[in-house]
Each structure stands twice: as C-alpha cells, then as structure tokens.
Amino acid sequence: MGFMHPLREESAVNRRQQSSVTALAVVLSMLLGCTLQAPYMHGWDLAEGIANRWTGGKFDEKKLSSDEAAVYKELGTPEAVRFFRTLQTRQRVYEWVYLKEEQNVWFVDGTRVDYVTVDADSSMFTKESRETLQDKLTTGGILAGVVGGVAAGLIILVPELTKNN
C-alpha cells in the first residue's frame, strides 16, 4: 500500500467538489436559458445582442392556445419570438415578430392582445420588489461587513489585552 500525502488527498477532494459545482452551474444556466421559452417552442436559438429573443425554430402545434393556433394558421411561423413580462402583474408575454409582413402579434398567457404594457426585465419580481430586495441586500452586506470587522478586531485585540494582564 502506498502512502498518500494528506494535502494531495484533500486537493483531489477539492477538485471533485469544484468540478461538481461547475457541472451544476452549467446545468442550471442551461435550464435557466430555456425556461423563458414558451412550451410550444422547439429548436429556437437565442439571438445575439437582443435580450430574450429567439430565432430559427419550430412550434409544436399541439401546445398552442386557440389564439396562438389561429395566428399560426394565418401567418405561419414567425421569424422571431420575444419574451417580456407585463409591468404590473408579471404575466408572461410573447411577441411573435413577422418581418416580411411587418407585423408583431402579442400574447399574454396565450391570449392575443392588441395592446399590453411590458417590462423588458424578465424577472418575476415587480420593480418595487426588486428595489426592496436590493436595499435589503445592500443593508445586510453593510451590516455583515461591520459585524465581521468588529469580530476580526476582537479576535486580534483580545489576546493582546489578556497578555498585558
């Protein structure tokens, strides 16, 4: 039996953990990229330079709502599909872009609409919720920094103070 140095064994464990974390991060990012697509979209690629815009795919007609199916029968597959959320209720909004016909068709949760106020931020949180969360994280970060600084100071100073006594 050979002898394995403890540091080498530990680094092998760390490498395994790091590769597991990396693999998990890759899988999660892949899933996140696909979750904004509508369930009827297959084979669509994200367009470069335009957020939440897909091109070049096909639709699964069985998964289209009745409004979506009617538009699909009339105009066919759009050149691009964009994803938004409604400003107030955060419902899913899809814009089908027909470049040749110079027409855009909007759907809110599968229902065709002529007008909708959208937010380009695809988060499920409202603007107010995002701002509140950001404020809390900033405050929490500052508080954690202060507490960490005090704790570090105590760890350094307490031995020095007890030496003198």
Report the candidate in 134, 136, 139, 93 with the shortest Cα–Cα distance to residue 113: 93
Share of the chain above pLDDT 90, in %: 41
* pTM, 2 dp: 0.57
At 23-70, the pLDDT tens digits run 554 444 444 444 588 899 999 998 888 888 999 999 999 999 999 999
Looking at residue 111, what is its pLDDT?
97
Indicate the SS3 state at residue 123: coil
CA torsion, ordered 59, 60, 61, 65, to nearest 10 deg: -90
- DSSP, res 62: G
State the Cα–Cα distance between residues 109 and 38, nearest whole angstrom: 10
State the Cα–Cα distance between residues 150 and 146, nearest whole angstrom: 6
